[in-house]
Amino acid sequence: RFRAGEFDIAIVKEARADGDARASFSEPLGWFEARDIFNDWSDPIPLVTFPPGGLYRDLMIDRIERERRRWYIAFTGNSLGSVLSAIEAGLGVSVLPVSTVAAHAVRASSIFDADAPLMVSVYAWESDGATGELVAAMSEVLSDRPGRFERSR
């Protein structure tokens, strides 16, 4: 919809930024499981995820299928909070941004190595005036969050 001209500015999570992004920030991802519940995650692997169509869900399923492992959806949540609560309860594993888990009873899972980070990209049609100022402010907020994002452009 941004490319169709419906929006002046868009912040997008994507596998890689297009060349016209005004700024892009790396968002490291990890596989997470309950901190205090120990499982060996033998086949099939229980997944805690967002509804169909989400980047994290697609990444998980793609990775597990590349590894030729079986899986099932153990829990689907519509919010980050519900997904983290289900992980804390030991319902399964999930892929999430590393920056989202610090205050929760989860730990990095050894089920798989970390996946490639996603990009948080800022797109805008204009680079000056009020739009340019807003893009600069949004980019500053994203880059000033230690341990959350690394600027890539």
- Walk me through the domains of the chain, giving residue ranges and CATH numbers: 9-27+118-151 (no CATH), 29-108 (3.40.190.10)
In this prediction, residue 15 carries a pLDDT of 86
Q: Give the integer Cα–Cα distance in Å for 66 and 71.
A: 12
Share of the chain above pLDDT 90, in %: 44
- Comparing CA positions, the residue from 63, 72, 77 lying closest to residue 30 is 63
Read off the pLDDT of residues 93-132 as tens digits, 9 standing for 90 and up: 999 999 889 889 999 998 998 888 888 888 888 878 888 8
pTM score, two decimals?
Answer: 0.80
Share of the chain above pLDDT 70, in %: 93
Q: What is the mean pLDDT of residues 37-66?
A: 91
Q: Give the integer Cα–Cα distance in Å for 122 and 63.
A: 27
Is the pLDDT at 18 greater than 90? The verdict is no
Q: How confident is the model at residue 145 (pLDDT cuts 50, 70, 90)?
A: low
CB 87 within 8 A of CB 34: yes
- Comparing CA positions, the residue from 96, 99, 100 lying closest to residue 115 is 96
In this prediction, residue 151 carries a pLDDT of 46
Q: Give the integer Cα–Cα distance in Å for 92 and 143.
A: 32
CB 109 within 8 A of CB 39: no
Greatest alpha-carbon span in the chain: 55
